[in-house]
Structure 1
Amino acid sequence: MDLRDLEAFIAVAEELHFGRAAARLHMAQPPLSNRITQLENEFRLKLFQRTTRNVRLTDAGERLLGPARRAVNQAASVRELATAIASGEEGRVRIGFAGASSQRVLPLLTRAVRAAHPGIDLVLQSQTYVYRAFDLLVAGDLDLAFVRIPVARPELSYRVVEVEQVLCALPTGHRLADRDSVRLEDLIDEDFVSLPEDSGSMLRLTMYSMCMSAGFRPKITQVAPDSSTVLALVAAGAGVTITLSSVCQAQSVGIVYKPVEGAEPSHLFPALAWRTDNTSPALQRVLAVGEAALPTPDLDSYGSDMNN
């Protein structure tokens, strides 16, 4: 038995006429009669009472008609779903992101995708910092991730979606709070608040690199699991930190932000990254929507920072 057998049974049951049923199925009447006979033999049931004048369903035929219709409808639903998945209108895209730095860009992307392609299921994985995100993308455990360049993984493609300024976060009332900018050398004796060492955060690595270039290792006295908590600790007077303009929205009370004088780099560049060989149609739809929702900024004036 295959679906064509059930479709033939349904057509005869609804038309109660082999000729009309054959025309409806675009086939000759003898093959249709043979198909019904084969189906009856397989079921070991008489499905129709046939006379020279009419055709009617038997009790067994009446009982089987409903399940046969459901089976054919379900098969049609499977075909429709398969077509939608193949076109990218249906599917799943797993997106990795981390903390406050994604608070602006992530909602812009997800809202645009859900408006354009409501059949795409977006699975959002938080606390996925840059280096962890690279590993998950390469392993195939994520489809898309918010990262920062450089993306030194040959398997990955990426597109820059934002420019972030590197800033120093100080508690209100700090001795440097009235300055227009802060030099790293002014922070040598300061307590620092940081993300954990094993978080895979590029921001933490950038902070360490900047301080080491200025001739000192930052003295970490408090560690927090995410950028929002880091800033809350700074506001509480636990120390200072190096942060980004995109993160500032997470904490404004009890804290001031200052540009870092002579900082290298002075900007970081969030990007969307994905496996180059990921051919998921749903992912391709999300990437296309992302081009409009998160356009690439003008990067011509940031050449030195982008090379760091």
Structure 2
Amino acid sequence: MNVTQLKCFIAASETLHFGRAAQSLDILPATLGRQIRQLEDHLGVELFRRTTRSVTMTEAGNRVLEDARALVAQAEAFEETARAVRSAEAHVLRVGAIDSAAAGLIPQILQPLHEAHPDLEIQIVEQKTIHLLPKLLSGSLDIAFCRPPDIRDPRLVFRTLFYETAVVALPKAHALAYQETIEIAELSDEPLIVPDRRSRPHSHDLTMSLFMGAGLTARVAQIAEEKQTIVNLVAAGTGLAIVPRWTARLRVQGVRFIPLAKTDATSQAKLILAASWARGTRDPLRDSFLSVLEAQLESLEASA
């Protein structure tokens, strides 16, 4: 039994409609139904009677409802107290970021953040999305900038910020290196460096979808994990790479970054950047950070 299951039970009891209850929690109805079934299995009783036309509370559901509300209130009070103690001891916000956000967003947000909140200290953890999300759930990170996964954990909030622009990284000596833009068709015979889909599905799929949208097949010459490694391989002449524009901030010698020409295919292939945090948590430091981020969002998006 966990707090998420109890919150789903309470929301459903207040609406007696799984769809509306799920909407109030910003999760899918199927997710809410699964959470309630797991709670019922744990307790060994049915909390709702479900038919194709209605949802009603059982006697057991009615009897435990107030206890469920009390448990959720206690859990929230416990968490708020713990966070208040941390804030009182040290004004530290633990921020996770994928590599492009660490290179582009974080450096631009630190100065206005320091001006607005001079006592706030930021600890930055740079990792892939698949490693950042568990840290949010465990409480070792307060907020993370990431690519939202296809299947989103209902215990996390994902707030889409904007879409990052894709550019082509290529050696300065390459024949296309001084064009204003590059068409995907011009890359049809070029060897490409792409990340492994298991660890970077969004970046991998971006390259593949761009080529598919142009009716072409990507010629993958090398798989590499980290953006720094990918750009270094470009500099070494291993191949070209399609990367987020903020990757240019890595400033590897001998590499240029050229925008892709705008087409239907490039407009549909997007890299979402989102802010994520644990659902149902209260954190004044995170709220302060998000307030500064909101004020800088337009300029950040323009640079991405």
Q: Normalising TM by the smaller chain, what interval?
A: 0.5 to 0.7
Residue 75 (structure 1) aligns with = none
The corresponding residue for 1:172 is 172
RMSD: 3.6
> 2:206–2:271: 8 Å Cα contact kept in structure 1?
no
Q: Measure how far apart 1:234 and its partner are.
A: 1.0
**1:242-253 correspondence runs (5 A):** 242-251=242-251, 253=253
State the distance in 2 between where 1:244 and 1:149 align.
Answer: 16
Instruction: Report the secondary structure of 1:221's partner residue.
Output: strand
- In structure 1, how many angstroms separate the alpha carbons of the residues matched to 2:110 and 2:203? 24
Contact 2:232 2:252 in 1 (8 A): no
Distance 1:208 1:132, change over 3 A: farther
* Aligned-partner Cα distance in 2 for 1:89–1:160: 31
Q: CA deviation at 1:116?
A: 4.3
Distance in 2 between residues matched to 1:85 and 1:120, nearest whole Å: 15
Q: Greater shift after overlay, 237-246 or 180-189?
A: 180-189
Amino acid at match of 2:277: W
1:177 maps to amino acid:
A
Which amino acid is the alignment partner of residue 280 of structure 2?
D
Displacement of 1:239 after TM fit?
0.2
Distance across 1 between alignment mates of 2:97 and 2:90: 22
- The residue aligned with 1:129 is 128
The alpha carbon displacement at 1:250 in A equals 1.7
Alpha carbons of 1:164 and 1:149: their partners in 2 closer, same or farther (altered >3 Å)? same
Is the partner of 2:144 in helix, strand or coil? strand
SS of residue paired to 1:258? strand
Partner of 1:280: 283
**Quick one: distance in 2 between partners of 1:178 and 1:87?**
50
Cα distance in 1 for partners of 2:89, 2:271 equals: 34
The residue that corresponds to 1:271 in the other structure is 274
State the distance in 2 between where 1:122 and 1:201 align: 28
Give, in whole Å, the separation in 1 of the partners of 2:115 and 2:252.
32
User: Deviation of residue 240 (structure 1)?
Assistant: 0.6
- In the superposition, relative to structure 1, how do residues 187 and 270 fare at CA in structure 2: closer, same or farther (>3 Å)? same
SS in 1 for 2:275: strand
> 1:240: which partner in 2?
240
Whole-Å separation in 2 of the counterparts to 1:234 and 1:175? 14
CA distance in 2, matches of 1:180, 1:115: 37
Unaligned runs of 5+ in 1: 1-80, 300-308
Q: Which amino acid aligns with 2:106?
A: L
* Native 8 Å contact 1:88 1:281 kept in 2: no
Aligned partner of 2:283: which letter? S
SS in 1 for 2:266: coil
Q: Residue 92 of structure 1 contacts residue 122 of structure 1 at CA under 8 Å; is this kept in 2?
A: yes
Match status 1:231 vs 2:231: yes
DSSP-derived class of the 2:177 partner: coil
Percent identical among aligned pairs is 26
Q: Which string of whole-angstrom CA distances, capped at 9 and with x for unpartnered residues, describes residues 92-148 of structure 1?
A: 43211122442231123344445544554433211x223443343345442211124
Task: Determine helix, strand or coil for the equivalent of 1:133.
Answer: helix
Secondary structure (helix, strand or coil) at the match of 1:123 reads strand
Change (3 A) 1:212 1:144: same
Q: 1:138 to 1:82 in 2, by over 3 A?
A: closer
What is the rounded CA distance, in whole Å, between the counterparts of 1:143 and 1:290 in structure 2?
A: 15
CA 1:94–1:297 in 2, change beyond 3 Å: closer, same or farther?
closer
Letter in 2 for 1:104: G
C-alpha displacement at 1:241, in angstroms? Answer: 0.7
Higher relative helix content: 2
Aligned: 1:289 with 2:292: yes
Give the secondary structure class of the aligned counterpart of 1:182: coil
Q: Which residue of 2 aligns with 1:220?
A: 220
Specify the structure having the higher radius of gyration (Cα).
1
The answer to whether the Cα contact below 8 Å between 1:176 and 1:182 also exists between their aligned partners in 2 is yes
Corresponding position of 1:260: 260
Instruction: State the distance in 2 between where 1:146 and 1:161 align.
Output: 9
Gaps of 5+ in 2: 1-80
1:145 aligns with 2:148: no
Deviation at 1:238, TM superposition (A): 1.0
Answer yes or no: is the 8 Å Cα contact 2:93–2:123 preserved in 1: yes
Aligned to 1:34: none
User: Does 1:195 find its partner at 2:212?
Assistant: no
Give the direction of change, closer, same or farther, for the CA distance of 1:97–1:195 in structure 2 (3 Å limit): same
